[in-house]
Amino acid sequence: MAELDKVLFDLVKPMVDDPESLEVREMPSANEREVVLHVYAKNDDIARLIGRKGSMASALRQVMSVASHAEDRKVTIKFEQI
């Protein structure tokens, strides 16, 4: 069973300028089959993780959906600046 928050953290850590301020938290969801992951980083890093027209965020969501497929769960990723 993959710890999806750690998988996402390992994916985004090389992409940010300030990895010390990066944090990924799994939040509770009303739906037991859904995993909500919040990515917290500085403003410039969040912009980089979302990408132009959301292309990077879309790619991250796609990769994480593959990672969560074995557990038959849906992943929702939200980006928050600190």
Mention every residue, 6+ apart, whose C-beta is less than 8 A from residue 41: 12, 16, 18, 21, 22, 23, 49, 79, 81, 82
pTM (two decimals): 0.93
| pLDDT exceeds cutoff 70 at 15 | yes
d(CA 31, CA 22): 26
Does domain 4-81 match CATH 3.40.50.2300? Answer: no
State pLDDT tens for residues 28-81. 999 999 999 999 999 999 999 999 999 999 999 999 999 898 889 999 999 999
Residue boundaries of the structural domains of the chain: 4-81
Residue 12's alpha-carbon distances to 17, 18, 22, 55, in angstroms, are 11, 11, 9, 14
